Amino acid sequence: MNTRNSRLFLPLLFLLLLLSAHAKGPEGGLHTRNILFVMTDGLRWQEVFHGADEALMVKENGIDDSEKAKFWQETPEARRELLMPFLWRTVAAQGQVFGNQDKGSVAVLTNGLNFSYPGYSETFCGFADPRINSNAKKPNPNVTVLEWLNGKSPYRGEVAAFGAWDVFPSILNRRRCGFLVNAGYEPMEGKRLSPTMALLNRLKQETIRYWGGEPFDSLTFETAFEYFKTEKPRILYLSLGETDEWAHGGRYDLYLESARNFDAAVKTLWETAQSMPRYRGKTTLILATDHGRGLAPDAWKGHGQDVQGSEAVWMAFMGPDTPALGERTQTEQVTQSQIASTLAAFLGEDYCAAVPQAGKPILDVVGR
């Protein structure tokens, strides 16, 4: 090749290589285009990995012999599968689950407060902010990973969040974030609501408000599910709350029922996604909780800075870019602050470049 031709060929080769790399995405050929991120409030890692706790299955906690039979098996593996069959038969088989401290897999909060608003803020922002020190409805001063993604053209208008707890508009800063945030008993608005969504709006008005601003999970889930089917967002966030509410009330029977219902809701959402060409084979599922709880026999009802063990959490990942390593054992500690950057990494986005204080992605689950 003569000098003149080489001067023309080399820039062209460089351009082709650059275009090829861009087509693969910054994370090198990731397949994830959509995210389903589902959380349930205050579900202990102990139940997730061991199933129902025999020390708590007593009448004082709402458990009689007939209730015990619904949740009891002789081994922890059988109990946990009985409690959360989708997590253990599907997510653990096809993805990764972190947080079984008895097997050297530790997942923790970093905020030190161990209650909801600080936990959700750490989850979404990637770091603990000492200004977030109560559950008061104060707009989050920090930009969450959902807001950051919604600010990018591929995701603008493609993000939606639904939460049972009516503090989510503050946690996600609805005034500023630019995407749909529906929480508590708020009706969905719009001129062309589906008949199902219109019915859900009426049910929210007609249902007794047992916990004030937080409805039963079924109303929140069905609202999010209907939106998912009709609007098909690329990033859907859903938070359910009954696991925390029934635990605070000392109803271990209903706490377990709520954990099982959470698992069933995730299954419904995932299987529906896999039936839709937009999502099938191109969607990553993330599961997590906002904080842990205390230990048996009494402290399980609460959590917080002074409640030992409530900093311990769990998390799970499944999708086309997550190696099927199952229940993780003897791993490096993972933290709640890593979820935001990990979520972004699945989409080929570098959240830590924009938010250096955020926890680094969990590379094991992003296939690297």
Mean pLDDT of 347-360: 98
| Residue 152, amino acid | K
- Provide the token pair at 67: 């209730």
Lowest pLDDT segment from 145-149, 190-194, 261-265: 190-194
Q: Is the peptide bond before 215 cis (omega within 30 degrees of 0)?
A: no
User: Which residues lie closer than 8 Å to 329 by C-beta, 6 or more apart?
Assistant: 100, 103, 104, 105
| Proportion of the chain above pLDDT 90, given as a percent | 89
Report how far residue 82's alpha carbon sits from residue 23's, in angstroms, rounded to the nearest whole number: 43
Position 353 scores a pLDDT of 98
pLDDT at 27 over 80: no
At residue 143 the predicted structure's pLDDT band, cuts being 50, 70 and 90, is very high
Give the alpha-carbon dihedral of 274, 368, 121, 96, to 10 degrees: 50
Of 124, 113, 215, 218, residue with least CA distance to 165: 215
Q: Model confidence at 191, in pLDDT bands (50, 70, 90)?
A: confident
pLDDT (0 to 100) of residue 109: 98
Give the C-alpha distances (Å, rounded to integers) separating 232 from 198, 226, 320. 18, 10, 19
Q: pLDDT band at residue 256, thresholds of 50, 70 and 90?
A: very high
Would the pLDDT of 66 be above 90? no
Strongest mean pLDDT among 8-17, 25-34, 246-255? 246-255
Q: What is the mean pLDDT of the chain?
A: 93
Please state the rounded mean pLDDT for residues 32-54: 98
In this prediction, residue 187 carries a pLDDT of 98
pTM exceeding the 0.85 threshold for the entire prediction:
yes
On the question of pLDDT at 72 being above 90, the answer is yes
Superfamily of domain 32-366, CATH level 4: Alkaline Phosphatase, subunit A (3.40.720.10)
What integer is the mean pLDDT of 94-98?
A: 98
Whole-number pLDDT of residue 368: 58
What separation in angstroms does the CA of 234 have from each of 119, 184, 195, 267? Answer: 24, 23, 23, 18
Model confidence over 270-298: pLDDT tens digits? Answer: 999 999 999 999 999 999 999 999 997 88
Confidence band for 65, pLDDT divided at 50, 70 and 90: confident
Give pLDDT, residue 4: 47
Q: Compute how many other C-beta atoms are within 10 angstroms of the C-beta atom of residue 92.
A: 21
Tokens of 27: 């994370």
* pLDDT confidence of residue 2: 53
Pick the closest to residue 317 from 292, 338, 290 (CA basis): 338
What Cα–Cα distance (Å) separates residue 129 from each residue in 71, 149, 361?
39, 20, 19
Residue 117 pLDDT: 98
Average pLDDT over residues 98-106: 98
Asked whether residue 111 carries a pLDDT value surpassing 50, the answer given is: yes
172-183 per-position pLDDT tens digit: 999 999 999 999
Averaged pLDDT for residues 192-212: 97
Distance of CA 337 to the CA centre of its chain: 13
**Percent of the chain clearing pLDDT 70 (strictly above):** 92
Please report the pLDDT score of residue 23 as a whole number.
37
CB atoms within 10 A of CB 173: 19
pLDDT of residue 298: 87
Long-range residue pairs from 128-135, CB within 8 A, at least 24 positions apart, any chain: 128/337, 135/167
Residue 116 Cα to chain centre, angstroms: 13
Of 11-25, 125-139, 281-295, 348-362, the range with the lowest mean pLDDT is 11-25
Residues β-bridged to residue 285: 36, 318
- Asked if pLDDT for residue 164 goes beyond 50, the answer is yes
Domain ranges of the chain: 1-30, 32-366
